[in-house]
Structure 1
Amino acid sequence: MASFYGIKGKKLQRYYRDQLSEYKNWEHCTDARKGLIFPQNIGPYLSIDETSLSQGELYTVVTNKEARGKKGTLVAIMEGTRSENIIPLLQKIPQRLRNKVREITLDLAGNMSLIAKKCFPLASQVIDRFHVQQLATEALQEIRIKYRWEAIDAENQALEEAKASKTNYSPEVLSNGDTLKQLLARSRYLLYKDQQNWSAEQAERASLLFERYPSLEKAYQLTRGLSWIFSNTKDKLYAFARLARWNEKVEQSGFKSFNAIARTITLHHNNILNYFDNRSTNASAESFNAKIKAFRAQYRGVGNVNFFLFRLMKLFA
């Protein structure tokens, strides 16, 4: 638009900010980053999450699921994630409105749980299933990465020995054309997917991988087993029993990283099991975060945080 009118882009941007947008007349134009709340947007189903606006600075965002990422979505956006700073701001919303909240989805962070408890005391807390599954996936990838470093070290050692003995070294090439190091590197994405969604090439690679590393196959089955519980269980009591059996399998496997996940599930089992009441997730919050990131990318970063929050308010509050 600036080039069409023959002016500099930054000049047009400044003119829009200072003259056309009414930003200068906004009551929060100098202190928006401290926190904005919109009590009128409260609904019975909320999400709470954190997002980064600029230079890694985190903001806590509360959104209304029923608005579906449109006008009325933004309930509050506040600088930082410290519960002692966030709670007083959210408590400025009248108690009668906060008591309308029946359910709030969140991640495993303790500060988010405390904020939800203090500010929305009547709401059921639901820990997002995808955050729990992500822990299992990260544990699986940790095992794969450990084996990959071992393969790299073994290949480097073989190269050094070949050089010392003045012989040629050729790494083993598997039936699919991968070396062992390549097999472990290229298996990353197939471990994220369910077996039935593998391509023929991925299925061949997985067969070679699990033949060489049976413990990786065991860890993969544990990960898929946890995902299956969330996807195929509808009753809360059945879910409780199946998660208990999954924890037993983890204990028998001997994987330290998976033991940490099992302990996490045990400690947070009430809020994790609340998922099976309405099958609610934090997907709406993640979607809203993605919109913020896209908006930020469109402006090539956030130069003026207060003005950026003004634009978010106009679009989503």
Structure 2
Amino acid sequence: MAHTHYIKKLLHIKDPNIYLSEVPVTREKKKDQEYLVVHGKLTYRPSCCKVCGVKNTSSQDLIKHGTKCSTLTLTHVNFQPVLLRLKKQRFLCKHCNSTFIAETSLVDRHCFISNLIKTTIAMELKETQSMTLIAQHLSVSPPTVIRVMRQVGETLEPNNQELPQHLSIDEFKSVKDVSGAMSFLFINASTHRLTDVVENRQLPYLLDYFMRYPVEARNKVKTVTMDMYSPYTQLVIDCFPYAKIIIDRFHIVQHMNRALNSERIKVMNELRYTRPRDYRKLKKQWKLVLKNEDDLDFSCYFTHRLYEGAVTEKMMADYLVQLDPKLECVYALFNQLKWALEHRNFKRFKSYLEESKKCTLPRKARTVLQTFEKHLEAIKNAFVYTLSNGPIEGMNNKIKNIKRSGYGYRNFYNLRARLLISYRLTTSNYQPRALYFEDEKAV
């Protein structure tokens, strides 16, 4: 009948061997929820016996042998879950006296949840939401969502024979069972596509992992973008002999800002009881001290309750840093280094490092400069290549949101499967940048 045809199209039932009954839809209440129940029958003429393989040529080979009723979970209509009460045809083989049941593409064998629901679960797992919420939306159980997640995650396993030419590596806070509490992930720095998630970020574990890749694949890696974590440097030397190390520019600035902020706090605490007004200025206006000197506004005048008369951002920042000679020296030096980094001038950056040896600096600032000298060759590559750890830092932020939405994860492999679905199942329209700053300028 015509109305059953449209019902099948509405519920995405594409199997032509499923025939709906004359009164196809009824309602049932189950566990305080109302379901729409569709009634139908699955029958066809099998080509052969599923057990012995004999061809079905006449009634002397295969005959119909009753039905078996199955309740299948389908999609939602008007926010109501739909069940398919399906009578599956049974067949009897007269040659081997065995029986088998008719099969449909709507569900997998021995399964009562439709493939459409499983596909929807996989699509929902890409978003930042808890698995319990997904189960409630689709009227299935949370273990079903976990099972589908593990199955889809297995299909997205990375190829252990190839590696991207440009890698970006970082770590994130993992589950409690992981040794060291930190896990490791790496992506394709050019396309921003997740490659794999490794359980442990410790050097011996990472060496064992990357040594599984063929030598040819590891030799093709040209660059590795990372922070200044020393075990990663050793990892690149041992596993990727032809790769250049690129220190992420964000981490270079972050090291300087942390040392500068530490000196600001030190000066602020020294003035707490002797000059409370200056103490409040350093406490409330910490962003002005960390802001790049070139970005400070020097033309717009306004009044501020901590200052007398009209002031600008530049005037307030100059007043704050001149409260202590060491703070002023560190502020000037770090702003020079930031300027050189922003304008891709490595010669000036190196000359500022050399000049800093002539003056006395606080211990934390001196430690930062020594760290820069230690990784000077890798920092030089940051002035040449456009690659950065920005995309992988964004992934770390999403990982935190995924863990927070699900109130944490106990099993690392469940978390890994969720991450593979979130980042490898999606398609991106990202257009890769030029590899070198010089090429980007030319374009």
Q: Match for residue 211 of structure 2? A: 91
Q: Match for residue 433 of structure 2? A: none
Distance 1:257 1:11, change over 3 A: closer
- The one-character-per-residue Cα deviations of 1:203-242 (angstroms, maximum 9, x if unpaired) are 34223213423432221111111111111135xxxx1x32
CA distance in 1, matches of 2:415, 2:255: 33
State yes or no: 1:42 paired with 2:187.
no
State yes or no: 1:295 paired with 2:402.
yes
SS in structure 1 opposite 2:190?
A: helix
- The one-character-per-residue Cα deviations of 1:252-287 (angstroms, maximum 9, x if unpaired) are 331133322222222221111122332322222212
Amino acid at match of 1:279: T
Q: Give the one of 168, 172, 175 matched to 1:51.
A: 172
CA distance in 1, matches of 2:145, 2:355: 64
State yes or no: 1:144 paired with 2:234.
no
Q: Is the 8 A contact 2:166 2:188 kept in 1?
A: yes
Structure 1 gap segments, 5+ residues each: 29-35, 156-170, 173-178
Q: Match for residue 63 of structure 1? A: 187
Displacement of 1:27 in angstroms is: 8.7
Q: Match for residue 278 of structure 1? A: 385
Structure 1 or 2: more strand by fraction: 2
State yes or no: 1:208 paired with 2:208.
no
Q: Which has the higher contact order (CA 8 A, sep 6+)?
A: 1
CA distance in 2, matches of 1:27, 1:105: 26
Distance 1:202 1:91, change over 3 A: same
Distance 1:119 1:298, change over 3 A: same
SS in structure 1 opposite 2:408?
A: coil
State yes or no: 1:180 paired with 2:304.
no
Size of the alignment, in residue pairs? 277
Distance 1:65 1:257, change over 3 A: same
SS in structure 2 opposite 1:62?
A: strand
TM-score between both structures, scaled by the size of structure 1? 0.76
Q: Is the 8 A contact 2:194 2:423 kept in 1?
A: yes
CA distance in 2, matches of 1:258, 1:312: 38
Q: Match for residue 357 of structure 2? A: 251
Distance 1:212 1:25, change over 3 A: closer
Q: Match for residue 104 of structure 1? A: 224
- The one-character-per-residue Cα deviations of 1:145-181 (angstroms, maximum 9, x if unpaired) are 11111122x35xxxxxxxxxxxxxxx66xxxxxx121
Distance 1:40 1:114, change over 3 A: same
Displacement of 1:244 in angstroms is: 3.2
State yes or no: 1:15 paired with 2:141.
yes
CA distance in 2, matches of 1:66, 1:244: 28
CA distance in 1, matches of 2:386, 2:194: 22
SS in structure 1 opposite 2:334?
A: helix
Q: Match for residue 70 of structure 2? A: none
Displacement of 1:74 in angstroms is: 2.1
SS in structure 2 opposite 1:222?
A: helix
Displacement of 1:20 in angstroms is: 7.2
% identity of equivalent residues: 23
CA distance in 2, matches of 1:306, 1:126: 30
Amino acid at match of 1:18: T
Q: Is the 8 A contact 1:39 1:75 kept in 2?
A: no
CA distance in 2, matches of 1:184, 1:150: 11
Q: Match for residue 413 of structure 2? A: 306
SS in structure 2 opposite 1:139?
A: helix
Distance 1:40 1:182, change over 3 A: farther
Structure 1 or 2: more helix by fraction: 1
Displacement of 1:300 in angstroms is: 3.1
Q: Is the 8 A contact 1:127 1:274 kept in 2?
A: yes
SS in structure 2 opposite 1:287?
A: helix
Q: Match for residue 195 of structure 2? A: 75
Q: Is the 8 A contact 1:81 1:111 kept in 2?
A: no
SS in structure 1 opposite 2:196?
A: strand
- The one-character-per-residue Cα deviations of 1:7-49 (angstroms, maximum 9, x if unpaired) are x947937824435752455797xxxxxxx75447732111011
Name the Cα RMSD after superposition: 3.0
CA distance in 2, matches of 1:27, 1:281: 27
Q: Give the one of 213, 223, 226 matched to 2:337.
A: 226
Q: Match for residue 328 of structure 2? A: 217
Q: Match for residue 240 of structure 2? A: 120
Q: Is the 8 A contact 1:250 1:258 kept in 2?
A: no
